């Protein structure tokens, strides 16, 4: 990823200096071994193709086990949380990871289905949630439904189901370890959230 500099400015972030989480921005799901930390980092931006992508991840983990698994949901705007439960949460539970081995990275762009799956990880596994408060309320309407307005013929969508994944008065779901990423971190090519998960 490259940020276009203004007149007389030096580039702020280039692909060669981008942290791991900002690489391969055109891919919706990918993973990488971080050998020096005996970790596997999983970038999970979209639910599209999740079944095949998750099967590839778990095949790799069988062949090359790692002591630490990091699932990054910070740029996931949602999809089908049931698919997340089936293809990621349940297989990860079967790995038997204990506290300090599973990290889920969350933030203001963790939304809708990814918010639900982050809460699932928190409740159903030993995962440590790291990052900023999640960008969606855990109590609210989801699941878009489309319909046509009778007078105008316009096609519109509206949330159709009320879900209760947390208290009604909760404004967000807060991680176990809150770490905010600053503009200075971005300019320096640092990802303090991922750094914490790798070094915890």
The CATH number of whichever domain residue 127 belongs to comes to 3.90.226.10
Q: Considering the domain boundaries, does residue 75 fall inside one?
A: yes
Q: Rounded distance, CA 12 to CA 119, Å? A: 34
Structural domain of 90? 33-136+172-199
Q: Considering the domain boundaries, does residue 22 fall inside one?
A: no
Q: How many domains does the chain have?
A: 1
Answer for the pair 114, 77: CB distance below 8 angstroms, yes or no.
yes
Q: Considering the domain boundaries, does residue 183 fall inside one?
A: yes
Q: What is the pLDDT of residues 27-49, one digit of tens each?
A: 999 999 999 999 999 999 999 99
The per-residue pLDDT for 147 is 84
First to last CA, the chain: 27
pLDDT at 167 over 90: no
The per-residue pLDDT for 65 is 92
Q: What is the pLDDT of residues 66-85, one digit of tens each?
A: 999 999 999 998 889 899 99
Q: Considering the domain boundaries, does residue 66 fall inside one?
A: yes
Strands 102-106 and 128-131 come out as: parallel
């Amino acid at each position: 990823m490259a940020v276009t500099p203004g007149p007389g400015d030096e580039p702020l972030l280039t692909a060669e200096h981008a942290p791991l989480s900002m690489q391969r921005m055109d891919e919706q799901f990918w993973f990488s071994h971080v050998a020096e930390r005996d970790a596997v980092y999983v970038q999970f931006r979209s639910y599209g193709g999740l079944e095949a992508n998750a099967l590839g991840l778990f095949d790799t983990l069988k062949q090359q086990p790692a002591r630490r698994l990091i699932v990054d949901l910070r740029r996931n705007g949602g999809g089908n949380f049931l698919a997340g439960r089936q293809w990621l949460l349940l297989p990860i539970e079967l790995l038997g990871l204990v506290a300090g081995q599973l990290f889920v990275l969350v933030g203001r762009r963790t939304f809708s289905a990814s918010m639900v799956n982050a809460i699932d990880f928190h409740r159903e596994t030993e995962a440590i949630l790291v990052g900023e408060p999640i960008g969606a309320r855990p109590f609210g309407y989801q699941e878009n439904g489309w319909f046509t307005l009778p007078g105008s013929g316009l096609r519109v969508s509206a949330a159709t189901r009320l879900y209760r994944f947390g208290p009604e008065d909760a404004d967000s779901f807060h991680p176990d370890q809150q770490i905010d990423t600053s503009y200075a971190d971005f300019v320096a090519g640092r990802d303090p959230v991922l750094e914490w998960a790798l070094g915890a």
